[in-house]
Amino acid sequence: MAEEAKWYVVHTYSGYESKVAATILSTVENRKLHDLIKEVNVPTEKVIEIKDSKEREVERKIFPGYVLVKMVMTDESWHVVRNIRGATGFVGPGSKPVALTDEEVEALGVEKREVKLLYNVGDSVKIIDGPLDGFIGNVEEIAPDKNKVRVIVSMFGRDTPVELELDQVEPAV
């Protein structure tokens, strides 16, 4: 297909998010619509709940009543998702779904961006974004799971540790 899959938000009855997501996935399997509907996601977070003075970790929905679907918007894919039991429609004006922007998708943390590390601990790097743009420093620590890198930068004659995102630095030439 020429069109690219984008993330859309589907409104559901409260409490039906997981059921709607599972039904969409099974419909995709049954009708072989893998090329139209790529992913279905119910964003959740783990929180500590204290009940009867006992702590327990529970998973809570970040957006109750909503399911995120990555799909190529066609009449067929719209119809499949729209007619799932428990789904009330797409988020957007009238019956026209509006895709999430790249910034919104990144802010929601739905899709993980792959950053290729071209540097290691001890390497000299150049900061390419932010207030320290143009500074050169040495990599002290890399935390790919947190998308962070700690760089030691020399400012005003002092070595200063700076925490940056992985894509804010590149190897110094």
| pLDDT the model gives residue 166 | 87
Residue 52 domain flag: yes
Cβ-contact 9, 91 below 8 angstroms: yes
Q: Are residues 133 and 73 in the same domain?
A: no
Q: Which of 146, 91, 161, 153 is nearest to 115 (CA)?
A: 146
Same domain as 97, residue 25: yes
CA distance 57 to 70: 29
pLDDT at site 10: 95
Maximum C-alpha span of the chain:
65
**Residue 63 located in a structural domain:** yes
Tell me how far the alpha carbon of residue 91 is from its chain's centroid.
18
Single out the residue of 70, 61, 67, 90 nearest to residue 28, CA to CA: 70
Tell me the two tokens of residue 64: 């109750």
Provide the domain limits for residue 156: 124-171
Same domain, 95 and 35: yes
Structure tokens, 155? 């400012």
Report the distance separating Cα 60 and Cα 6, nearest Å: 25
More confident residue, 115 or 48: 48
Query: Which tokens belong to 146?
Result: 């947190």
| Claim to verify: residue 19 and residue 75 sit in the same structural domain | yes
Domain boundary among 108, 143, 161: 108
Task: State pTM to two decimals.
Answer: 0.63
In a shared domain, residues 99 and 16? yes
Question: Would the CA dihedral through 108, 114, 120, 123 be positive or negative?
Answer: negative
130-153 per-position pLDDT tens digit: 899 999 999 999 988 778 899 999
pLDDT at 110 over 90: no
Q: Give the mean model confidence (pLDDT) for residues 4-28.
A: 94
pLDDT at site 113? 62
Number of folded domains that form the chain: 2
Statement: residue 59 has pLDDT above 90: no
